[in-house]
Amino acid sequence: MKTIIIVLLGGLLLFSLAAFSLLPQRGRAPEQPIAFSHKIHAGDYQIPCLYCHANARRSPVAGIPSVQFCMGCHKITAADKPEVQKLQGYWNRKEPIPWIRIYDQPDFVHFSHTPHVQAGIACQQCHGPIETMDRVREAVVLTMDRCVACHQKRQASLDCVTCHK
Amino acid sequence: MEVNRRDFLKVLSIGGAAALTGCSAQAPEKLIPYLIPVEEIIPGKATWYATVCRECPAGCGMLVRTREGRAVKVEGNPDHPVNRGRLCARGQASLQGLYNPDRIRQPLLKDASGTLKPVSWDEAEAWLISRLAELLQQGKGVGITWMTPHLTGSPDRLVNQWLKILGSTRRLRYEPFAYEPIRTANRLTFGREVIPTYDLESSTVILAFGADFLETWISPVMYAREFAAMRAYKDGRMGRFIFIGPRLSLTAANADRWISVRPGTEGVLALGLVGVIVAEGLVKGLSQDEVGRIRALVDCYDFKRVSEATGVEPEEVKRLARTFAEGDPGLALGGGTAVSGPHATTTLVAINLLNYVAGNVGRTVRFGPVSTLSQLSTYREMLDLIQAMEKGQVSALFFSEVNPVFTMPKAAGFERALGKVPLVVSCSSFMDETVAKAHLVFPTHTPLESWGDVEPWEGMHGLMQPAMQPLFETKALGDLLLSLAKRLGGPPAQAFKEESFYEYLRARWRELHQRLQSDVDFETFWVEALRRGGVFEAIPAQPVRLNVQALSQVLEEPELAGQADAFVLLPYPSLVHFDGRGADRPWLQELPDPMTQLTWDNWLEVHPEDAKRHGIEEGDLLTVKSPDGEIELPAHLYAGVRPGVVAIPIGQGHTAFGRHAEGRGANPLALLPKEPEPRSGGLPWLSPQVTLARTGKKHLLASVSGSDRQFDRGIAQVIPLAELQAYAGKEPHDEHKVLQMYPPHEHPNHRWGMAIDLNACIGCGACVTACYAENNLAVVGKEEVARGREMSWIRIERYVEGPPERPETRFVPMLCQHCDNAPCEPVCPVYATVHNPEGLNIQVYNRCVGTRYCSNNCPYKVRRFNWFTYKWPEPLNLQLNPDVTVREMGVMEKCTFCVQRITEGKERAKGEGRPVRDGDIVPACAQACPTRAIVFGDLKDPESEVSRLRQNPRRYRVFEHLNTQPAITYLKRIRPSEEA
């Protein structure tokens, strides 16, 4: 009986591993419409995360800065760089920038940044060493496992409806 | 080998996920930032805007919750004096007007073949301008006519101004229910042709003659609130309410007694009551002389004759008169379609007289502030318009958001006359029966996208602001009129200084500012008005005197003439669809009619005795025939209509008006005669001559009711008033003490609970629709409802107790009871439903595998299963609440006590560095309830309102004997004393 279970599970595992390559790319780092570098902004210049993602402390979503916000600096700063000129192109055409989403949760998960920022969790805890990345890579895979482990460690709520509602 | 459950599931899920994703590669999701951020919007957070509900003429204040720039929920505005934070089901469904998939999305122009073809705004306006210029040149400007619904304030003024500049004064404010008999009766008795303020809250006895004030009459949310306050049990007493009329409506079902009178004889009864009050010297505040003159008027109505005419026992007439005279003060209300027959005005004069002799005029009937509904056009004025149209005197007809083709009797011939008008222009949002006949159709903004102001009562200036950007290429009516005036050039262009309706509105509000609050600057005044939802003046009541002279000629004996074998037809405005304008909202179609519990349909109510005599069975398709037309409708056997009377709800039977409205039932207006009531010019809805014939066909009626009786299960309980009075301070009964096998749940921080007062619940269903809106509940359609698969998390169960001649209707809102010993929990094989530390019985959708064991084991039957992945036809999906998961096929769901609101309330309190306070968290059902019957809160907090109500002597819990330990406590409905 035991052998059967092990064989079955083993088979399933093998199949899973084979199929795993078909999963959406974990740790993906897609090319963005503008080669924005977090390394330059957050790393070299030490701009705090919340300077641009200001909503993280008061809203479930951290928010992406508006094009106007970027232009606040880049009207003058580094205005001759080709990537900054791309930004100016969007601004002049009055188009928002179609960034490609990296961190996402399924629709049945309701995550809110606010309590996490309030509890003093560093952004890097879930988003990896973002200040070292020229192109953002999914450095941390946000599975339920990971959420629960951290909640257990920090004695945060383990109630299902904290996230599933 | 030890394989624990968790690891096993992990391995399984990886395999499963792999198998699933093998065949679909999802396109990467985009994150689109704002180009320029909107100051008041924080993505992920709700923004609220105050506006006014336009679903009926009551003019309730409304707050619109928006997320990322789209409206997702509407709630009553607590600052608005009409509804004080409450809203009815129709108001809740205004969102489905905004996002209706069948809205007109661009201007349409009728081509040579007679079909409406899309054109650009520019083309449409240019075409109209050339036609208008032509008309004006020919000197036909005087024949231009404008027809709107009940408009007040700035939009009303703009329409009139616009018309005047083109040389016309033909203007109609058309509502199918225009209260003509009330207005005329008040002119005859008191010299003022208005609808007065009725103060239900201060009354101790209410007599309603046909007036369905809890459903559709004048201002139902306001009256429901006042009624509940009047009925509340205080100091050993509660207000009394008796309903008189041929049909047991929802309002009648909430009365101590329903007195079924012969249709059309309400006036005789009222005069009989006046007679008894005068004869027994129960008159209040009148001079001897006045009493003498009134006595002369009503002398011929002795109670024996009254009893013969009305079918009410003579003793009952006397008792009723005494009960009413005891009122300190009392209030008699009259109206509705039951009091609209050939003698409607007489009846209302009689009711005025009754209020007068009982000393209520000036106390509970006050002439100030008066309702602006007093300015509505009468039905007779509509008939005059039809005549003018027939004679070719109407050179152009403009209309907006009115549907007379549907809401006027077919015999009046509006549709035919419309064909004789050379230019018909519609400014509406929906393709209804009247719009379909227009030559040119301008799509307008819905109210939630518009600026405007609404004055439902004198001095109550509600302000409307757009809650979101327009969804389609539509225009506000005001902007359209201004644009047309500009394009016409010459005097019309010069008449308006304002570039937009927004400026026009502000200009009028500058006048208000000058008059009301000139001590602050205008911008402060304006912003404060936007925030509060308007400015509200106190208008004092004006004294009135009775004009006895005028009455003598009015009061003759009302009688309803008809053939001997014919039924009296009583069409009544449906609580859910009103005059038909709610029929295209799927939430309202799926909301069961409270009395019949039927959905998605139209029917003919016939008394079981009559049905037996004519061999009619439930669901038989009948031909209903009157001298003016015939329709086919299924029969619904209903003991709540008087034998000899048949009733049909108004609102269904649309031939246009979109996918949800079309082809359901038939419109009873096809049966009504054309002639108005002579005195008031109102439409006599009560029609004496219809015959029924079986077609031999059957029709499926989708009912959500399992049974009319509760078979002694004690779901909806009552307590006699005398028994309650006897408690006074003593404890009524002990909670069931049952031995427990398991230790009780621990609730360290909160224990959420609810109390539902059945004495306050009127069964209106506002909570049901509010829940649909808040929790993304799917609409399943008639066929699925008939299979018992509706998705409502909260439902109003309706039971009838007592003997048929004295039915006692009981309503009980039924929702997940969040039991401590929840029977659903132990039977779930995957732990998808569990008890959480705050006492909620939670449902984890991503764990649920759909065995439905939980539903099978739930004694309250409140769990709903997703048999399909239900669809929201675009753009209805834009209304979905982003804080709540949209469920898919194969998943069980049920009430969560609005857990998303609990989370939000806790987070808000935490952000402000304080504990959660009582009242911080209000679920959608409790928020909407017009009578505050539902109270939610923390049972761990002994000071909370819900904890207090749990100690109320009327408390009970449903199925207490099962030891489920529900978190919901019901308070028994109080049964008033026998004599009434």
Say yes or no for a CB contact (<8 Å) between B34 and A101. no
Question: CA angle, B979 as apex, B975 and B980 as ends, to 5°?
Answer: 85
Tell me which chain B residues have a C-beta less than 8 angstroms from the C-beta of A18.
Answer: 18
Q: What is the pLDDT of residue B23?
A: 39
Structure tokens at B430: 């929906």
Q: How far is A44 from chain B (nearest CA, A)?
A: 24
Q: Per the structure block, which two tokens stand in for B223?
A: 């009256």
CB contact under 8 A, A55 and B844: no
Specify the 3-state DSSP secondary structure of B649. Answer: strand
Q: Give the span between the Cα atoms of A159 and B10, in whole angstroms.
A: 20
Helix axes B501-516, B153-165, angle to 10 degrees: 120
Q: Name the one residue in this structure whose structure tokens are 């083993």.
A: A10
Q: CB–CB of B11 and A94 under 8 A?
A: no
Helix ranges (DSSP H) in B496-580: 501-516, 522-532, 548-552
**Torsion angle of C-alpha atoms A150, A154, A159, A162, degrees rounded to 10:** -70
> In this predicted structure, which of A3-17, A74-88, B433-447, B949-963 has the lowest mean pLDDT?
A3-17
pLDDT at A1 over 60: no
Long-range contacts, B191-195 (Cβ 8 Å, 24+): B191/B544, B191/B545, B191/B547, B192/B367, B192/B370, B192/B542, B192/B544, B193/B374, B194/B367, B194/B370, B194/B371, B194/B374, B195/B370, B195/B371, B195/B373, B195/B374
Contact criterion met (CB < 8 Å) for A96 and B846: no
Q: Is the pLDDT of residue A8 over 70?
A: no
With cut-offs at 50, 70 and 90, classify the pLDDT of residue B589. very high
Residue A141, both tokens = 């895979």
CA distance B99 to B300: 58
CATH number, domain B748-975: 3.30.70.20
User: How confident is the model over B61-99, as pLDDT tens digits?
Assistant: 999 999 989 999 999 999 999 999 999 999 999 999 999
Burial of B51 (0-12, 13-18, 19+ CB in 10 A): buried
B1/A114 Cβ within 8 A: no
Cβ–Cβ < 8 Å for B1, A6? yes
User: B30, A99: Cβ pair inside 8 Å?
Assistant: yes
Contacts of B903 in chain A (CB under 8 A): 110, 161-162, 165
Fold of domain B180-361: Dimethylsulfoxide Reductase; domain 2 (3.40.228)
> Residue B863 in contact with residue B818, Cβ under 8 Å?
no
Mutate to test the interface with B, among A22, A25, A66, A95 (most CBs of B within 10 A): A22
With a cut of 70, say whether residue A43 has pLDDT above it: yes
Q: Which residue shows structure tokens 């995360």?
A: A49
Between B740 and B214, name the one with better pLDDT. B214
> What is the pairing mode between strands B645-650 and B567-573?
parallel
Contact: A118, B42; criterion CB under 8 Å? no
Considering only alpha carbons, which residue of chain A is nearest residue B884? A165
Alpha carbons A72 and A74: distance in angstroms, whole number: 6
Of the listed ranges B301-315, B604-618, B623-637, B789-803, the least confidently predicted one is B301-315
B521: left (phi over 0), alpha (psi -120 to 50) or beta: beta
Q: How many CA atoms lie within 13 A of B941 on its CB side?
A: 18
Of A2, A68, A110, the CB nearest to B37: A68
CB–CB contact A98 B1 (8 Å): no
pLDDT of residue B219: 96
Reduced to 3 states (helix: H, G, I; strand: E, B; else coil), residue B909 is helix
CATH dotted code for B567-703:
2.40.40.20
Mean pLDDT within B814-831: 96
Q: Pick B18's closest partner by Cβ from A2, A23, A115.
A: A23
**A6 shares contact with chain B (CB less than 8 Å):** yes
CA–CA separation, B241 vs B255, rounded Å?
5
CA distance B119 to chain A (A): 28
Please judge whether B11 and A112 are an interchain contact, meaning their C-beta atoms are less than 8 angstroms apart: no
Distance separating alpha carbons of residues B355 and B359, to the nearest angstrom = 6
Cβ B429 vs Cβ B197: under 8 Å: no
Q: For residue B531, how far is the Cα from the chain centroid? A: 25
For residue B14, the model assigns a pLDDT of: 42
Using a CB-CB cut-off of 8 Å, the residues of chain B touching A55 are 42-44
Q: List chain B residues with CB under 8 Å of A5.
A: 1, 3
Copy the structure tokens of residue B407: 């809401």
Distance CA B584, CA B430 (A): 9
B147/B401 Cα distance (integer angstroms): 9
pLDDT tens per residue across span B448-476: 999 999 999 999 999 999 999 999 999 99
Task: Place B549 in a pLDDT band, splitting at 50, 70 and 90.
Answer: confident
Nearest-angstrom CA–CA distance, B598 and B607: 17
Total residues belonging to chain A = 165
pLDDT tens track for B659-701: 999 999 999 999 999 999 999 999 999 987 899 999 999 999 9
Nearest by CB: B22 against A22, A67, A95: A22
Q: Do B911 and A118 touch (CB under 8 A)?
A: yes
Q: Over chain B, what is the mean pLDDT? A: 92
What part of A 119-158 touches B (C-beta under 8 Å)? none
- H helices present in chain A, as ranges: 2-20, 38, 49-52, 67-74, 82-93, 113-118, 124-127, 144-153
- Name which of B4, B35, B42, B896 to mutate to probe chain A: the one with the most chain A Cβ atoms within 10 A of its Cβ: B35
ipTM of the complex model: 0.85
CB-based contact (8 Å) between A4 and chain B?
A: no
Nearest CB to B21; choose among A23, A64, A67? A23
The answer to whether B345 and B679 are in contact (CB under 8 A) is: yes
Handedness of CA B510, B511, B517, B521 (dihedral sign): positive
3-state secondary structure of B525: helix
Assigned CATH topology for domain B110-177+376-503: Rossmann fold (3.40.50)
Residues listed for chain B: 980
Burial B745-781 (b: 16+ CB within 10 A, else e): eebeebbbbbbbbbbbbbbbbbbbbbbbbbbbbbbbb
* A89/B contact by beta carbon, under 8 A: no
- Determine, for residues B907 and A96 on separate chains, whether the beta-carbon distance falls below 8 Å: no
**Are the beta carbons of A50 and A69 closer than 8 angstroms?**
no
For residues B435 and B433, what is the distance between their CA atoms, to the nearest angstrom? 6
> Could you give the CA distance from residue A37 to residue B854 in angstroms, rounded to a whole number?
52
pLDDT-derived band at B15, boundaries 50, 70, 90:
very low
Q: Is A5 on the interface with B (CB under 8 A)?
A: yes
Residue B654 has pLDDT above 90, yes or no: yes
Highest mean pLDDT among A135-144, B95-104, B303-312: B95-104
B42–A58: do the CB atoms touch at under 8 Å? yes
Which residues of chain A does B28 touch, with a Cβ-Cβ cutoff of 8 Å? 30, 100-101
A164 touches chain B (CB under 8 A): yes
Contact between B945 and B953 under an 8 Å Cβ cutoff? The reply is no
Nearest to A96 among B32, B44, B45 (CB): B32
B585 CB contacts (<8 Å, ≥6 apart)?
A: B90, B93, B96, B97, B100, B660
What's A163's DSSP letter? Answer: T
State whether B846 and A108 contact (CB < 8 Å).
yes
Q: List, edge to edge, every strand of the sheet that includes B170-173.
A: B116-118, B108-110, B440-443, B424-428, B396-399, B144-148, B170-173
Among A97, A155, A160, A162, most B C-beta atoms within 10 A, so best to mutate, is: A160
Predicted TM-score of the model (pTM): 0.92
Q: How many CB atoms lie within 10 A of CB B555?
A: 21
Residues B551-574, mean pLDDT to the nearest whole number: 76
From A59, A69, A106, residue closest to B43, measured CB to CB: A59
CB contacts, 8 Å: B1 with chain A: 2, 5-6
Closest-CA distance of chain B to residue A165, Å: 6
From CA B964, how far away is CA B818, in angstroms rounded?
9
Cβ neighbours of A9 in B, within 8 Å: 3, 11
Rounded to the nearest angstrom, the minimum Cα separation between A49 and chain B is 16
Please name the member of B1, B33, B883 whose beta carbon is closest to the beta carbon of A6.
Answer: B1
Chain-wide mean pLDDT for chain A?
88
Which tokens hold the place of B256? 């101590």
Query: Could you give the CA distance from residue B82 to residue B93 in angstroms, rounded to a whole number?
Result: 19
Res A13: pLDDT: 63
Interface with A, mutate which of B7, B14, B750, B892 (most A CBs under 10 A)? B14
Pinpoint the alpha helices (H) of B24-142. 89-92, 95-98, 121-137
Summarised one tens digit per residue, pLDDT across range B899-949 is: 999 999 998 998 899 999 999 999 999 999 999 999 999 999 999 999 999
Q: Which of B846, B880, B886 to mutate to test the interface with A (most CBs of A within 10 A)?
A: B846
- Which of A61, A101, A162 minimises the CB distance to B43? A61
Chain B contact for A118, CB < 8 A?
A: yes
**B543 falls in which pLDDT band (50, 70, 90)?**
very high
Q: How many helices (H) and strands (E) does chain A have?
A: 8, 1
Q: Quick one: what percent of chain B has pLDDT higher than 70?
A: 95
Q: Please give the Cα distance from B621 to B625 (Å, whole number).
A: 13
Q: For the segment B840-869, what is each residue's pLDDT rounded down to a tens digit?
A: 999 999 999 999 999 999 999 999 999 999
Mean pLDDT on B96-119: 95
Task: Give me the sign of the Cα torsion angle B844, B847, B849, B853.
Answer: negative
Q: Is the pLDDT of residue A15 over 70?
A: no
Strand partners of residue A62: none
CB-CB: which of A12, A23, A55 is closest to B44? Answer: A55
Is residue B155 within 8 Å of residue B479, measured between CB atoms? no
Q: Choose, out of A16, A66, A87, the residue to mutate when testing the contact with B (most B CBs < 10 Å).
A: A16
User: Residue A75 and residue B515: Cα distance in Å, rounded?
Assistant: 49
Nearest to A165 among B28, B837, B896 (CB): B896
Q: Where do the domains of chain B lie?
A: 110-177+376-503, 180-361, 567-703, 748-975
Q: Report how far residue B680's alpha carbon sits from residue B685's, in angstroms, rounded to the nearest whole number.
A: 13
The span from the CA of B433 to the CA of B834, in Å, is: 51
Minimum-distance CB partner of B33 among A59, A66, A108: A66
Q: What is the pLDDT of residue A17?
A: 55
| B301 — pLDDT class (breaks 50, 70, 90) | confident
Cβ contact (<8 Å) for A16 and B18?
yes
| Contact by Cβ (8 Å): A68, B36 | yes
Region B33-47 average pLDDT: 88
Query: Is A100's CB within 8 Å of B31's CB?
Result: yes
